[in-house]
Structure 1
Amino acid sequence: MTSLSTRLLEPATRPQVVDALVQLADTEMAAKTGLSGAVLRTAYGAAKRLGEGRVRRAVDAVLPGVASTLDPYHDAAGATPFGAYLADPARSSQVADQLLAVADAKAAAVEGNPLGRVYSSVRGRAKDHVVAALPGLGTTLERFAR
């Protein structure tokens, strides 16, 4: 059986996965409300103003870590839709922590990068937003895992 990460990182598939994840991020940001949502939308807008290519490159850079982090969850999901499996309260907090660890490691490696500064400005409240995005993340990635 081919792993989720192997499928997502195939040279012919990876650009499509990155495009889909950037679109997911755009959709998630547009749906944010309230004060913390406004802060997050502002930070994301700043990142995009740095150049669409930077957001895409950042997504591409974290994709291997994200994919390998999600491999065991994808294997365990079985017939359960992957988005629903990730969002299950029994595991969503752990999944979010692991995904944020991937992002934290990547952000630390690009110190001084404007995108890294934007990430740092919103990191404190990121976990709740990651948990909220898990259903969409799982659904998006599942399309490429078949």
Structure 2
Amino acid sequence: MSNLSQLLNEDTRPAVAADLATFADATVAEQSGISGIALKGAIATAKKLDSNIITKGVNRLLPEILGELERHWQDFQDAPTEDFGDFLAGRSSQVVDSVMSVADRNAEQITIAPLAKAYNGLRGKGAKFIEPAIPEFGRILQKHMA
């Protein structure tokens, strides 16, 4: 059986991180409403501080997120579906909780006040942003597992 940790190999990780960073940017761009505007503003501010902050963040969080998703990957390998994104969508509340717990643990280490304030202000809307993106997130991971 394969293991998601293989996505951390030096020959795979840069492509996974790049695809996930592109996906994160696209997901943020799709947001609307007051929360969407706030999220876009927070990301724009973060990118002014460091234009590669999304890629760096993905790279930093990737080992923890893959660790959180590993049990789902193992269950998926015995499932009747061939689409990891659809499989994760069926477990969306568990996946959202896992991703948010990783984000929360790492947010405690934010030392840049405007970023910490933005995270704390948007934290309550995290599930709203993440849940619709779960299927595509799973597909990106599966693509790199092939």
2:67 aligned residue: 68
How many residue pairs were aligned?
143
Does 2:46 correspond to 1:44?
Answer: no
Alpha-carbon contact 1:46-1:118 (below 8 Å) kept: no
Instruction: State how far apart, in whole Å, the 2-side matches of 1:14 and 1:115 are.
Output: 26
- Tell me which moved more, 43-52 or 63-72: 43-52
> Which runs of 5 or more structure 1 residues have no equivalent in the other structure?
none
2:89 aligned residue: 87
Instruction: State how far apart, in whole Å, the 2-side matches of 1:36 and 1:29 are.
Output: 11
The list of structure 1 runs, each at least 4 consecutive aligned residues, that deviate by more than 4 angstroms after superposition, is none
2:105 aligned residue: 105
- How high is the sequence identity, in percent, across the aligned residues? 34
Instruction: State how far apart, in whole Å, the 2-side matches of 1:140 and 1:129 are.
Output: 17
Residue by residue over 1:79-100, the C-alpha shift from the partner in whole angstroms, topping out at 9 and shown as x without a partner, is: 5211111112xx2111101111
Cα shift at 1:33: 1.6
Residue by residue over 1:21-59, the C-alpha shift from the partner in whole angstroms, topping out at 9 and shown as x without a partner, is: 110011111111222211111112222222222222111
Cα shift at 1:119: 2.3
Alpha-carbon contact 1:43-1:121 (below 8 Å) kept: no
2:121 aligned residue: 121
In the superposition, the TM-score normalised over structure 2's length comes to 0.89
- Tell me which moved more, 13-22 or 75-84: 75-84
Residue by residue over 1:74-121, the C-alpha shift from the partner in whole angstroms, topping out at 9 and shown as x without a partner, is: 111235211111112xx2111101111011111112344654443223
Q: Secondary structure at the match of 2:52?
A: helix
2:130 aligned residue: 130
Residue by residue over 1:55-77, the C-alpha shift from the partner in whole angstroms, topping out at 9 and shown as x without a partner, is: 22111111000011111111112
What is the aligned-residue RMSD (CA, Å)?
1.6
Q: Secondary structure at the match of 1:109?
A: coil
Amino acid at match of 1:22: A
Instruction: State how far apart, in whole Å, the 1-side matches of 2:61 and 2:51 are.
Output: 16
Instruction: State how far apart, in whole Å, the 2-side matches of 1:69 and 1:50 are.
Output: 29
Structure 1 residues 36, 3: closer, same or farther in 2, change over 3 A?
same
